[in-house]
Structure 1
Amino acid sequence: MDIRHETIAVGKQLVSYTHYYSESSQVCFLLSGASYVYDHPYFYYSRMMLLNHDVNIIEIHYMSDDIYALPDEEADDEILRRIDAVIAKVLQEKTYLTHQFIAKSLGTGPLVTLMQRPVFSEATVILLTPLLTVPFIAEGIAASRQRGLLVIGDTDRFYETSALERCRASHLTVELIPGANHSLDIGFQVDQSLATVAHVTKRIEETLFPVTVIR
């Protein structure tokens, strides 16, 4: 496994990404939140799990200070433009048979857009704490047909009961974590929060790498 730190010019902005490279034909794109980045628990342990399965991992560092100065719609467009550019470059350099995505919080917005594209119709997707109070995100998830997992806590400020119920129309497995906030922590309860990390990471692994039972 080779760790490659790459950059690509998107307009006047240099966008960096980290590629954990292997000879595998599988690739998983990680889309962080605004402040919940790749050294935080759910990405850290997901990366560890993916490396154990010899998957190419792409961590896209799409956030920069200028994003915060843009109006919401322009910021969303710019974030997607940066993510698109990295994904296009990665897929141009090598052909992958399997595409996977793990997105959290702000990163679930661009993922919902990517899920509407035919090239990713067979991708497996993990949506952690999606912004269900944003209509296009909830509606996009509900209309999606990818297999995957959606995880959110019932004390998350972006949780909305009716939106989550609409998301159950998708092909995603939906997990509502009682007491979990937007970081998927259970308040200040260390043991419960660690148990939640372990549980969710296991569910991510089971979703990305299902075991076929031969009868």
Structure 2
Amino acid sequence: MKGYVSGYKEMIIPFNYFTREEAVGLMVVLPGSGYTAQAPLLHYANHFSEQLHYDLLQVTYNYNDEAYDDFTNEELGEAIKIDVQTVIDAILGKKHYPNYCFIAKSLGTIALSSELMREEFKNAKAVWQTPLIHREDVLTSMRNSTQKGLSIIGDADQIYSEERVALVEQNPNMISKVIPRVGHALDVEGNALKSIDILKEVMTEIQEFLK
């Protein structure tokens, strides 16, 4: 099912919601900026909802649209938190689940850092793909999260910080995976086969984590 809500400043926020009979949980996918739920790292992660017998919610915001050109980084961070919460509230207003998991990429980790503070997600699992650890809200959430989490980042990512990753790794609830010599897309530019190997490695990590 495709739907939408009125989000921050009454902007239209679309979402995709896939349900199955007798679902035992809900997987929420939070894409990056320009990295959609159909891009490889999220496209294949979506399939884990079938294995888990979870319903699937993809928040398909598009902050690259010209309507957001005047937004500051601070305002965009506030917008995505409000927009994602509004979409999730619309779904949970109709159906609650005994289990939840989140898979967030880049910009989506800003919203994830906020959602994990909610009581209904106190036992959720969270996958942080290329988390924006240069932001204090994201780093603080990852350091203090009581939920089980998996963080995956490349050491050639422009936002990578060995010091900040070390702070995340101090949280016993977090599993940290640093992939050498890959950037923000978790691939190797100009090397398709190596990029596919990394994609498989990432999917294997996520599958093991979500079991």
Partner of 1:12: 10
Q: Does the residue aligned with 2:190 lie in a helix, a strand or coil?
A: coil
Q: Distance in 2 between matches of 1:190 and 1:21?
A: 34
Please say which of residues 86-95 and 67-76 is displaced more in the overlay. 67-76
Note if contact 1:32-1:104 (Cα within 8 Å) is conserved in structure 2: yes
Q: Does 1:119 align with 2:123?
A: no
Partner of 1:204: 206
User: Scaled by the length of structure 1, what TM-score is found?
Assistant: 0.91
Name the % identity: 24
Gaps of 5+ in 2: none
How do 1:59-74 and structure 2 match up within 5 A? Answer: 59-64=58-63, 65=65, 66-74=67-75
Displacement of 1:45: 0.5
Displacement of 1:167: 0.2
Amino acid at match of 1:126: V
Q: Distance in 1 between matches of 2:81 and 2:55?
A: 21
Partner of 1:175: 177
How do 1:15-26 and structure 2 match up within 5 A? Answer: 15-23=13-21, 24-26=23-25
Q: Does the residue aligned with 2:93 lie in a helix, a strand or coil?
A: helix
Displacement of 1:52: 3.6
Note if contact 2:80-2:110 (Cα within 8 Å) is conserved in structure 1: no
Q: Distance in 2 between matches of 1:136 and 1:14?
A: 25
Amino acid at match of 1:208: L
Q: Does the residue aligned with 1:93 lie in a helix, a strand or coil?
A: coil
Note if contact 1:8-1:16 (Cα within 8 Å) is conserved in structure 2: yes
Stretches of 4+ moved more than 6 A in 1?
A: none
How do 1:19-98 and structure 2 match up within 5 A? Answer: 19-23=17-21, 24-64=23-63, 65=65, 66-98=67-99
Aligned-pair RMSD on alpha carbons?
Answer: 1.3
Partner of 1:137: 138
Note if contact 1:31-1:103 (Cα within 8 Å) is conserved in structure 2: yes
Q: Distance in 2 between matches of 1:100 and 1:153?
A: 23
Gaps of 5+ in 1: 210-215
Q: Distance in 1 between matches of 2:203 and 2:193?
A: 15
Note if contact 1:68-1:75 (Cα within 8 Å) is conserved in structure 2: no
Q: Distance in 1 between matches of 2:80 and 2:68?
A: 8
Displacement of 1:174: 0.3
Displacement of 1:188: 2.1
Partner of 2:153: 152
Amino acid at match of 2:5: I
Partner of 2:192: 190
User: Scaled by the length of structure 2, what TM-score is found?
Assistant: 0.93
Note if contact 1:148-1:208 (Cα within 8 Å) is conserved in structure 2: no
Q: Does the residue aligned with 2:43 lie in a helix, a strand or coil?
A: helix
Q: Deviations over 1:98-125 (max 9, x none)?
A: 0100000011011011112222111000
Please say which of residues 91-100 and 131-140 is displaced more in the overlay. 131-140
Amino acid at match of 1:36: Y
Displacement of 1:187: 3.0
Partner of 1:101: 102
